[in-house]
Amino acid sequence: MDNQVMITRSQQAILGLTRDDARLGLGKKLRLNESLIQGFLFLCGFLTIFTTVAIVIVLGRESLLLFSTEYIDSAGRVHSIEIIDFFNTTQWQPHRYLVGIAPLAAATLLSSFIAMVVALPLGLGAAIYLSEYASPSVRNTIKPILEVLAGIPTVVYGFFALQFMTPLLKSAFGGGTVETFNIASAGAVMGIMILPLVVSMSEDALSAVPRSLRQASYGLGSTRLETTIRVVLPAAVSGIIAAVIIAISRAIGETMIMAIAAGARPNLTLDPFESAWTMTGYIASISGGDLGYDTLDYNSIFVVGLFLFLMTLGLNIVSRAFVARFREVYE
């Protein structure tokens, strides 16, 4: 009997050791998997940062060539581009060695402003309706339509601006006032293009407001409209501002609509019915031809790209600052 007890205890000890070994092996395996996942995630983050830094380095290095290279015209005269002239000159005529960013930047900002005039009221109104008023069936119908708008290629929007929006503006304001290629039609269609972005992000910000705030407002006798304007919108203002700034960045970086519908004339103007070259339109148009390395046109592409990058970077920094400043934290 004692021998049987000893055997049983020995078996139990062996089984206990086996279980401990199994737990130890499982723990090592889990730690190995976690290390692999952590290493993979670190690699993803490193590649993202490396790509961003590499883009900045390439743009900066190539941009300096515009100002450090001497250009010789057909008569043998030597020309150079100064950095201060790049910002002070109001003409963009590389064939005359006049390279000023003002016409391209003004057209880009004007088209983006028109796009936001279209997208902001429509997008914010649609977001408020979807968040506060629409039934689930209506919401499930409208959202796929917005996703279809987001999936349309921008080249299609460009031809839509040229073939539909421009004739519509000509019929409204007169053919002598509206040029065939103009900033207004391109900007308006660009506003339609970024509309799903504004609606989606604004609705997410509105939906994130706790239901208890709405119920407290209703309990004080406020109507749904009063609750939306006085409670929900102020509580979601950080997300809405972020959506607007990201939409502006998207509009500034749009290429195909501008290249197709806005025209290809460096024109420093505030008249939206005139044609003008935006920064992205200039890059797309010039890059389509045969450019010799280290020529003025070739080097100017990188300077314009760097200036565009700095504009969007500045907007993203402003967006983060606004979100941090006005963010509401609820428990």
The pLDDT tens digits for 209-244 are 888 888 888 888 888 888 888 888 888 888 888 888
What pLDDT is stored for residue 117 in this prediction?
93
The residue with greater pLDDT, 30 or 275, is 275
Q: Taking the domains of the chain in order of start, what are their residue ranges?
A: 2-68, 83-326
Report the C-alpha gap between 318 and 307 in whole angstroms.
17
Mean pLDDT of the chain: 83
Q: What was the pLDDT predicted at 69? A: 81
> b/e per residue, 136-152, with b = 16+ CB within 10 A?
eeeeeeebeebeebeee
Q: Residue 328's pLDDT is what?
A: 64
- Residue 15 is predicted with a pLDDT of 47
Residue 5's pLDDT is what? 44
Percent of the chain clearing pLDDT 90 (strictly above) = 20
Query: How many residues does the structure list for the chain?
Result: 331
Helix (H) or strand (E) holding 78: strand 78-79
Q: What is the pLDDT of residue 156?
A: 92
pLDDT at 329: 61
What is the tens place of the pLDDT at every residue in 143-197?
A: 888 878 888 888 999 999 999 999 999 998 887 888 889 999 999 999 999 999 9
Query: What integer is the mean pLDDT of 304-331?
Result: 79
Closest CA to 246 of 189, 312, 161: 312
Residue 238: per-residue pLDDT: 83
Q: What angle do CA 164, 151, 280 make, to 5 degrees?
A: 65
Looking at residue 165, its pLDDT comes to 92
- According to the model, what pLDDT value does residue 6 have? 47
Class of domain 83-326: mainly alpha
